[in-house]
A = this chain, B = another copy of it.
Amino acid sequence: MTTQELVDQIWKKKSFLCIGLDVDLNKVPSYLLETEDPIFEFNKKIIDATHHLAVAYKPNTAFYEAYGLKGWKSLEKTIQYLNTNHPEIFTIADAKRGDIGNTSAMYAKAFFEDLAFDSVTVAPYMGKDSIEPFLSFKGKHTIMLALTSNQGAFDFQTKTIGGIELYKKVLETSKEWQNSKNLMYVVGATKAEFIGEIRKIVPNSFLLVPGVGAQGGNLQDVCKYGINDQIGLLINSSRGIIYASKESDFDVVAAEKAKELQQQMEEILKAQS
């Protein structure tokens, strides 16, 4: 999917919401556990109820790998369901991968070819040759961690390196990599005040912003600092939407929560147009 197609979808749906599909079987309604594939059934119900309100879905691979082979099968069925029924939706494998070049190329094959995701998240610690194999895929997007939403972000990311913070160094450096136009960045909503600084370095890139909702980030603050001419933001909510109810009405309540966020986004988009 091209960036322009993502932007078009944002304006059409009046939403820049991404829904995190992080299924924990301890948190789903018990009746689902009796189905053959409870993770996929949960995702299917969430997608059916919210696809008109969201422009992206983001399964975090950890929640699938934790269930082994069955979990990987659920992930495969989920991305196939999305690609078949909602090909306009931007799909993100939240995998935070990264390895030496020939190995990163295998991860890129896994997520871009085998599973056919539009994008994958990656970690920057191993540098240029760990990321460029992902960037070489046409029509695919690589979303690199810059400043994450957790407390541990202050351990290394905000430490000063050569006069600037590490996360800024990561942003600056990555702009020089081959096919860097295919980069997006992860920036936590819990650090909204940093987003203005980030926008100075990558004015045109899309930012994937986790941490709105359960982790305490604020949508208005993120947009104030982060929005650009193409909107340039995907706001992710996982637990705040998918576990808003743990009863059999979870999909209905998830849609209500997604609608609340979409309506706030519609207001913000109105002010932009």
Contacts and interface: CB of A to CB of B under 8 A. Distances in A.
A62 B114 CA distance: 12
Given A60-B106, A125-B156, 6 more contacts: A66-B107, A69-B76, A100-B148, A127-B153, A128-B155, A159-B169
A65 B106 CA distance: 8
- 9 closest residue pairs by CB, A with B: A127-B152, A127-B155, A65-B110, A62-B106, A66-B106, A68-B114, A129-B152, A100-B150, A161-B161
Interface string A144-181: 01001111111111011110001001100100000000
A251 interface: no
Interface string A89-104: 0000010111111011
A68 to B, nearest CB: 4
A232 interface: no
Nearest to A104: B62
Interface residues of A, number: 59
A184 to B, nearest CB: 16
Interface of A: 22, 24, 60, 62-63, 65-69, 71-73, 76, 94, 96-101, 103-104, 106-107, 109-111, 114-115, 123-131, 145, 148-157, 159-162, 166, 169-170, 173, 215
Contact of A76 (B68, B156, B160, B162): B68
A151 B100 CA distance: 9
A162 B162 contact: no
A124 B125 CA distance: 8
Contacts of A166: 156, 161, 166
B169 A153 contact: no
A130 B152 contact: yes
Contacts of A106: 24, 60, 62-63, 65-66
A22 to B, nearest CB: 7
A233 B182 CA distance: 39
Contacts of A215: 100
A159 B161 CA distance: 7
Given A114-B68, A123-B96, A129 B156 contact: no
Contact of A151 (B66, B127, B148, B157): B127
19 contacts: A62-B107, A65-B107, A65-B110, A66-B107, A66-B109, A96-B97, A96-B123, A98-B123, A100-B150, A101-B150, A125-B156, A126-B152, A126-B157, A127-B151, A127-B157, A129-B151, A156-B169, A159-B162, A160-B161
